[in-house]
Amino acid sequence: MSDEITDRHAETAAEVLPEQRGLYVDGEFVDAADGGTFETTDPTTGETLAEVPAGRAEDVDAAVAAASAAADGEWGATGASERQQLLHEIADRIEERKTEFLKLEALDNGKPTREAYGDVSAVIDHFRYFAAATRLNEGTTLPADDGPRHVSTVHEPYGVVGAVVPWNFPLLITSWKVAPALAAGNAVVLKPAEQTPLTALKLANVVDDVLPDGALNVVTGFGEAAGAPLTAHDDVAKVSFTGSTAVGREVMKTAADRIADVTLELGGKGPLVVHEDADLDAAVRAAVLAIFYNTGETCTAGSRLFVHDAVAEEFLDRLVETAEGLAIGDPLARDTRMGPKVSTAQAERTLDYVEQARAAGGNVLVGGGRPDDTPSDAFVEPTVIEGLSHDSAPVQEEIFGPVLTVFRWDDYDEMIDLANDVDYGLAAGVMTESASQAYTTAGDLEVGTVWVNQYQDFPAGMPFGGYGQSGIGRETAFETVREFTRTKSIDVSIR
C-alpha cells in the first residue's frame, strides 16, 4: 500500500507542480541571490516534492524595490475598474486550473482533496469578492460649519504590503491577503510558509502575464531569513501576518520600531458549547468539523468542548463512534477524511501534548496515538480527552492538532467563565435550538467569530479576526480593503 501511495503521489506531482519554481520578483522567476535552496516535502510519503529558492534579506530587498516601483508606476496608475477586471481574470485562471491547485495543496500540505476542493473554491470566491470591492472603496463628504468649504475623505493605498502566510491554509490565506491588498491598489511581497510554498509559486506562474511587473512578488524561504527582513523592511508600509502568537508579537515589535501598520491573525483555542436542547446529530457534526477538519491545523479549531451534563453521555458516545470511523490515509483518496499533519515534527508535537494530558490525569476516550498502516509518521489519530483541569497546558495552549478536550457543565455562568478563560479569542461555536440562548451565549463569548449550529464556515464578506492574543484587524470582508488603505482628509476653502 505504501509503494502504491508513493507512486500515485509522484505521478500527481509530475502533473501539477509549477513549471517555474524560482523567486518571483518584478515579473521574473529568479534564483536566490546566494543560490541557496531548500526542499519541500510531501508529508504523506516523506518524499521530496520540489527544490525551491531559499530567499534571504537581499532577495527581500529586490522584491520590495520591485513592489515600490510598481506602486509608484504602472500598477499605482491602474484605476479601480481595471483592477477589478484583473482580479476577475486571476479568479478565472485559478478556476481553470482548480484540480491542479487542489491536488498540489494536498501534496504539499497533506489535506484531503475534499477539503482542498473547498479551499480552492473559496480562493476563487474571495478574488471575485474583492474584485467587486475595488469599486466600493469610496470616501465621504462632510458637512462644513462655516463659509463656503468642501471637506472630503479619500482612501489611499499604503504602497507596499508585506504578506506572510502560514502552512495550514497556504493558498486560501494567500487570497485573504493578496486579493484585498491588490484591490486597494497596493503592490504585494508575499512570503509563503517554508513548509508549503508550492501553491503560491503556482499562483505566480498562472498570473504572470495578468498583473504589471512588481505588483505581486513571491519570496520563498525560512522565517528568520526571509520573513523577518520583510516584516522589518523600512519600505514596507503595511504588514499582514498570519501565524503563531509568539511570532506575531515579534512582527508587531518590529513594526512598532518604524511605526508601520499591522494586521495580525494569530492563535486560537476555541470553545464549542453544547446546550442541553441541542440537536445532537448536528452537534456531533459540528464538533467533528471544529476539531478534526484540516487535521486540527486551524487557528479556529473548537478544541475545548463544553457539553451539558444532561446530554453529555449520549453526545460523547456518538462523538467517539464518529471519530473511530473517520477514514485516515492518503489525502488523494476520495474517501479520506483526515490526512497527515504537515510534518512529522508537527505530529510529534501534537502527541507530546497528548502525553502531557495523560500525565495530568486525562482520560483518552478515543485516539491518542498514531494510526496503523499509514505511509509516514506524520499521521495522528483523532483524539478526545476528558478529565483535565482547565488550567493544564493541553487545555490552555494551542495544540494545532486533532485533539479535543472535554468539559461537562450544568451551571451556565461557570461554563462561560471557563470558556473565556484562555488568552485567545478567535472563534467559538454554540449548539442550541433556542434563538434566545444562541444570541445570549454568542454575546457572552469573548471571540471574534461565533458559529451557531455549524462550524468552520468562512463566506467572503464575513469579517474574520480575533480578540485578545488572537490578533488585530479583520480579514475576508470589505473592511479588509480599508485595512490596506490610509484615510486622507481634504479640507478646501472655496473662494
* C-alpha cell recorded at residue 102: 487542489
Q: Which of 296, 306, 289 shows the shortest CA–CA distance to 383?
A: 296
Say whether both 244 and 324 belong to one domain: no
Q: Are 76 and 249 in contact (CB under 8 A)?
A: no
Of all residues in the chain, what percent are helix, strand and coil, respectively (each to 5)? 40, 20, 40
Q: What is the CATH number of the domain that holds 255?
A: 3.40.605.10
Q: Are 60 and 77 in contact (CB under 8 A)?
A: no
Residues 314, 188, single domain; the answer is no
Q: What is the pLDDT of residues 86-106, one digit of tens each?
A: 999 999 999 999 999 999 999
How many structural domains does the chain have?
2
* 304 located within any domain: yes
Q: Are residues 224 and 287 in the same domain?
A: no
Question: pLDDT tens across 132-141, in order?
Answer: 999 999 999 9
In this structure, what DSSP letter does residue 279 have?
-
pLDDT over 60 at 306, yes or no: yes
Q: Which residue type sits at 187? A: A
Packing angle between helix 170-183 and helix 98-109, nearest 10 degrees? 130
Looking at the structure, tell me whether residues 253 and 303 fall in a common domain: no
Residue 493 has pLDDT above 90, yes or no: no
Residue 12 lies in a domain: yes
The per-residue DSSP string of 393-447 comes to HHHHS---SSEEEEEEES-HHHHHHHHT-SSEESEEEEE-S-HHHHHHHHHHS-S
pLDDT, one tens digit per residue, over 321-339 is 999 999 999 999 999 999 9
- What pLDDT was estimated at residue 167? 97
Reply yes or no on whether the pLDDT at 432 is more than 80: yes
495: in domain: no
Q: Is residue 417 part of a domain?
A: yes
282 within some domain: yes
Residues 182 and 294 in one domain: no
pLDDT at 279: 98
Same domain as 474, residue 449: no
Q: Which residues are catalytic?
A: 265, 299
In the chain, % of residues over pLDDT 70? 100
What is the average pLDDT across 204-208? 97
- 335-355: average pLDDT: 97
Q: CA 415, CA 113: separation in Å to the nearest integer?
A: 37
Residues 234 and 100 in one domain: yes
Give the DSSP letter of residue 212. P
Mean pLDDT of the chain: 97
Contact 375, 6 (CB under 8 A): yes
Question: pLDDT grade, residue 2 (50/70/90)?
Answer: confident
Domain membership of residue 465 (yes or no) is: no
62-84 burial string, b = 16+ CB within 10 Å, else e? bbbbbbbbbbeeebbebebeebb
Residue pair 467/425 in contact by the 8 Å Cβ criterion: yes
Give the tens place of pLDDT for each residue, 109-134. Answer: 999 999 999 999 999 999 999 999 99
288 and 188 in one domain?
A: no
Angle between helices 170-183 and 113-133 (to 10 degrees): 0
Q: What CATH number should be reported for the domain holding residue 391? A: 3.40.309.10
Rounded to an integer, what distance in angstroms lies between the CA atom of residue 224 and that of residue 180?
Answer: 26
Is pLDDT at 476 greater than 80 in this prediction? yes
Whole-number pLDDT of residue 495 = 76
pLDDT tens digits, 138-167:
999 988 777 788 899 999 999 999 999 999
Answer for the pair 350, 401: CB distance below 8 angstroms, yes or no. Answer: yes
The answer as to whether 44 is a domain residue is yes
- Encode 283-326 in three state secondary structure: HHHHHHHHHHHHHHCCCCCCCEEEEEHHHHHHHHHHHHHHHHCC
Same domain, 249 and 279: no
**Strand (E) or helix (H) holding 267:** none
DSSP character at residue 169: S
Return all residues near 138 (Cβ < 8 A) that are at least 6 apart.
Answer: 155
Domain identity same for 219 and 293: no
Q: For residue 277, what are the contacts with CB-CB under 8 A and spacing of at least 6?
A: 432, 433, 434, 437
Helices of type H across 169-210: 170-183, 198-206
Residues listed for the chain: 495
The pLDDT confidence band at residue 1, using thresholds 50, 70 and 90, is: low
**DSSP secondary structure letters along 136-152:** G----EE--SSSSEEEE
Q: Average pLDDT, stretch 271-287?
A: 98
Residue 296 and residue 326: Cα distance in Å, rounded?
A: 13
- How big is the CA angle at 173 (ends 169 and 178), to the nearest 5 degrees? 150
pLDDT tens-digit readout, 20-33: 999 999 999 999 99
- Rounded Cα distance, 179 and 133, in Å: 10
Q: Which domain holds residue 216?
A: 2-266+470-489
Using alpha carbons, select from 41, 56, 27 the residue that is nearest to residue 219. Answer: 56
Residues 212 and 284 in one domain: no
Residue 140 phi, psi dihedral angles, 5° rounding: -135, 160
Is 114 part of any domain?
yes
Answer yes or no: do 109 and 72 share one domain: yes
Distance, CA of 410 to CA of 393 (rounded, Å): 24
